[in-house]
Structure 1
């Protein structure tokens, strides 16, 4: 029994050592007061001195920070999203004033305007200077504060590219403003959630906003909506946060079967370009230059084969050689390209070159040798 208790305490210590939170008091000139912050840095933040990280600002940090920070840590541990810096702003005593808007224009006023400027002109610049933040910035709010985060969306050059609106208590014209803005925006990720047992007024407003969004035809924004069954105004938060992160970071994860079937196969433009653009975009957003996954090479090459776009195998092979020079992968794609475009000698040479390198995925030395022998047999060499 003592051993079990000791082991449990040790496990708790190890976990807590990975997920320590910095508690900081930030003095604001705009607010003329100090604000309490909770800051969770990625697990390996100190080790990776050159790495930058997306920034996630969480309003209602008193109760919303922990579920967001926990999900971010979990998702990034399994590489389903990039490691990120999470910052919660405690608002237990100031929440009502922080989200204040006037009754004529329904825009931030008085303390609400000061809080808006505090985030945009003080807090975010401070975090950018103090920590290694990437371009991508996300803001999270719940009911009253979920309405407030939309005001950042209306700026000409929004400082936030991602918005997680959990059961927002929308100001009267907010639904029309959001719809209009998203219809003409680009590179915005917007998540909206309600539930069957949400507050009636909020649920009605959110569903109406979602209906308006269905008429928006803008491929340059990424809109996601959930209406959870049997969840309340409060329990939907626990379901909405992981769904939002999963949706927003879909591009970061390996190409899924769903993406393969719904995006790659019917793609009318270059499948090779899709792969390159995907990694270029994630590098720009997350500030992380990643090696292209073998899984993604295989997904793209399979789509190329299915659609018989053999000319795309040549640049794919050259890219694979650059990414994985010690493996068979790139030489295999080049050999396939030559074989399908009527150059069997070059194909055979590429298979032979690949044979000498390390096996990867489904590619083995026996497989490559069989390919060489098949060409020799077909042409009598």
Structure 2
């Protein structure tokens, strides 16, 4: 009896530790039929009443929902992406009709056009009205449905900002259409494309050619990623592509990596301070909530500032660090270092002294700050 009770309790706590999965039936006027949905809400969704969440629409929800929802739950648990609402659309019996297109225009027709309107005019508005959603919307598809998700790119104001294309079986003009839309995009777009060495030969060959074309796009608003997975098939690539897509799309959400530092920050020709502020402003706009700037990110940017000797940028960086981490000596250290390098020793000494009174952090200790103060006093006779 005790063992049975223990197993029941374990099952209960296990079930509530993961994202909440709901099964809903949605009555569509556009399709004139019921559609089954799987919806995973973030952990503690009910408790975080003021928090909003990005939305990920998953076509082929019969087999794609679980790998997407599982990866989203795992990534967000480790804070590698924001917690998100995942909505799976089940299509096992309707897939071919849902994605039907005209053989002349290669645009949705009949049931395909109705399904397109169902997603944009019924499903997404319902999710927005029912749940607390942020601006960022993403859509995922595989082969036939992956071709379909690209139609949402062609709207004047696309309802999705991120597209995960898993081995899409593209219509003949799709390559050129996607290229033209991405080339002229005026707002942020994340576009992920994947194939594999053991993918269907016609799909693989076509997608490699598509990548060659899309790789030439120089639009700063477009974040394009491509993977050709070694030794994976048309179906097994899904398990590798989903985490890779989430990792690349949400790179801006994670702490600044060594790769980002070397390839993006050190090569930046504009303000490093503005870069840091813009990253967090953009993520706040997309994800719907304000995040404290990580100490790791302050250190990455300040290291680049020192390396490039852009000393005038340390003052605004220091003031920002004081605002974000007021209990630590980080901001006052940046102020002191900046003033010191710009030839203002008195202001530098005061900044170091103010920092000495606060909490140690990262590489900064009270002994180190005192050493900086004493060195200035010794050099200038204060």
Per the shorter chain, which TM-score range? Answer: over 0.9
SS at match of 2:16: helix
- Distance (whole Å) between structure 2 residues aligned to residue 254 and residue 217 of structure 1: 25
Number of aligned residue pairs: give it: 379
Query: Does 1:111 find its partner at 2:111?
Result: yes
Give the deviation of 1:27 after TM superposition.
0.3
Query: 1:369 — aligned with what?
Result: 370
Q: Who is 1:298 aligned against?
A: 299
**Deviation for aligned residue 1:51:** 0.7
- Distance (Å, rounded) in 1 between the aligned partners of 2:335 and 2:46: 41
Give 1:123 shift: 0.4
Superposed, 1:131-210 pairs within 5 Å as: 131-185=131-185, 186-210=187-211
Cross-structure match for 1:83: 83
Supply the distance in 2 between the matched residues of 1:266 and 1:9 (Cα, whole angstroms). 56
Displacement after TM superposition at 1:15 (Å)? 2.9
Find the aligned partners of 1:52 and 1:314 in 2 and give their Cα distance.
33
Q: 1:322 maps to which residue?
A: 323
2:353 pairs with 1:338: no
Distance 1:8 1:222 in 2: 47
The two structures have a TM-score, normalised by structure 1, of 0.97
Unaligned runs of 5+ in 2: none
Aligned to 1:56: 56
Give the aligned partner of residue 93 of structure 2.
93
Match of 1:29 in 2: 29
Residue 360 (1) aligns with residue 364 (2):
no
From the superposition, tell whether residues 8 and 351 of structure 1 become closer, same or farther in structure 2 (CA, over 3 Å).
farther
| Aligned match of 1:239 | 240
**Backbone CA RMSD of aligned residues:** 1.4
Aligned-pair CA distance for 1:126: 0.6
Give 1:262 deviation, angstroms: 1.0
Residue in 2 that maps onto 1:15: 14
Q: Does 1:68 align with 2:84?
A: no
Q: Return 5+ residue gaps in structure 1 as ranges.
A: none
1:164 deviates by 0.2
State how far apart, in whole Å, the 1-side matches of 2:311 and 2:327 are. 24
Instruction: Work out the CA distance in 2 between the residues paired with 1:34 and 1:111.
Output: 14
Q: Distance in 1 between matches of 2:331 and 2:98?
A: 56
Cα distance in structure 2, aligned partners of 1:15 and 1:183: 46
Q: TM-score, normalised by structure 2?
A: 0.97
Distance 1:10 1:234 in 2: 36
Following the alignment from structure 1 to structure 2, what is the Cα–Cα distance between the partners of residues 265 and 208? 32
Q: Distance in 2 between matches of 1:315 and 1:202?
A: 51
CA distance in 2, matches of 1:17, 1:291: 28
- Cα distance, 1:221 vs structure 2: 0.2
Q: How does 1:266-285 map to 2 (within 5 A)?
A: 266-285=267-286
